[in-house]
């Protein structure tokens, strides 16, 4: 277990990779797809109106492709990690700018730092995804269950994963 696993958890990082790969594959197969997703140690949840069977197919393909070594599927350009990195860099640049002695320098430095943060958020966020928030090594990971849920009128699809020999459920829900 590495230091990153202590803070982010190996299972969360693996599920985050599978989530990204699943969403990427869904996006290739469903035009104008608009959804979001969140990972946890148990799997991930997709928020939005998406066909359950399409999620089942995409998750199976994503798992197979990641296990075959397609690690780039674990990186997604619209990941919240990119937003978080951009916000952190912006806050740091503003903090440093406010520490400057002259007010004119402060405003210029703050504006330059904000622009710089916007420019580096996605490329640096990709690096953070690759090394910190996702783990494409899915050896032993299996999809245990996929089911639709509704919370306060919001449609979700929950994909639960496990370590071990569970198989992807078929269309009837049996394993």
Residues 116 and 145 occupy one common structural domain:
no
* Residue 173 lies inside a defined structural domain of this protein: no
Residue 169 lies in a domain: no
Query: Same domain, yes or no, for 42 and 69?
Result: yes
Asked, for residue 70, whether it belongs to a domain, the answer is yes
Same-domain status, 93 and 20: no
Give residue 113's pLDDT: 85
Measuring CA to CA, which residue among 110, 59, 63 is closest to residue 89? 110
Range of the domain at 106: 80-133
Residue numbers of the chain with a pLDDT score lower than 70? 1-7, 165-175
Residues 8 and 71 in one domain: yes
Q: Would you list the DSSP string of 85-98?
A: HHHHHHHHHHHHHH
What is the C-alpha to C-alpha distance for residues 107 and 94, in angstroms, rounded to an integer?
9
Domain membership flag for residue 174: no
Whether residue 88 is found in the same domain as residue 66:
no
Say what the pTM is: 0.83
Question: Can you give the pLDDT at residue 59?
Answer: 98
Residues 123 and 139 in one domain: no
Domain count, the chain: 2
Both 128 and 140 in one domain: the answer is no
CATH code, 32: 3.30.980
Name residues whose C-beta falls within 8 Å of residue 148's C-beta, 6 or more positions apart in sequence. Answer: 52, 155, 156, 157, 158
Q: What is the dihedral of CA 32, 76, 71, 16, to 10 degrees?
A: -100
Task: Provide the pLDDT for residue 117.
Answer: 86
Instruction: Say if residue 60 is in the same domain as residue 119.
Output: no
Residue 149 pairs with which residues in a beta bridge? 156
16 and 95 in a single domain? The answer is no
175 lies in a domain?
A: no
Does residue 120 sit in the same domain as residue 139? no
Structural domain includes residue 51: yes
| 156 domain residue, yes or no | yes
Q: Is residue 38 part of a domain?
A: yes
**Which residue shows structure tokens 């903090």?**
95
Tell me: do 69 and 98 sit in the same domain.
Answer: no
- Are 90 and 36 in a shared domain? no
């Amino acid at each position: 277990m590495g230091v990153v696993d202590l803070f982010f958890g190996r299972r969360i990082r693996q599920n985050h990779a599978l989530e990204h790969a699943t969403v990427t594959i869904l996006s290739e197969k469903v035009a104008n797809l608009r959804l979001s997703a969140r990972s946890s140690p148990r799997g991930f949840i997709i928020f939005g109106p998406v066909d359950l069977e399409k999620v089942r197919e995409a998750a199976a393909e994503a798992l197979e492709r990641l296990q075959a070594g397609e690690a780039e599927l674990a990186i997604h350009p619209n990941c919240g990690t990119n937003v978080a990195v951009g916000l952190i860099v912006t806050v740091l640049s503003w903090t440093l700018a406010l520490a400057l002695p002259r007010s004119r320098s402060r405003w210029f430095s703050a504006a330059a730092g904000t622009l710089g943060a916007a420019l580096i958020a996605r490329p640096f966020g990709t690096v953070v995804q690759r090394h910190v928030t996702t783990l494409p090594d899915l050896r032993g990971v299996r999809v245990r269950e996929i089911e639709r849920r509704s919370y306060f009128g919001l449609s979700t699809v929950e994909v639960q994963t496990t370590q071990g020999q569970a198989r992807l459920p078929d269309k009837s829900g049996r394993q």
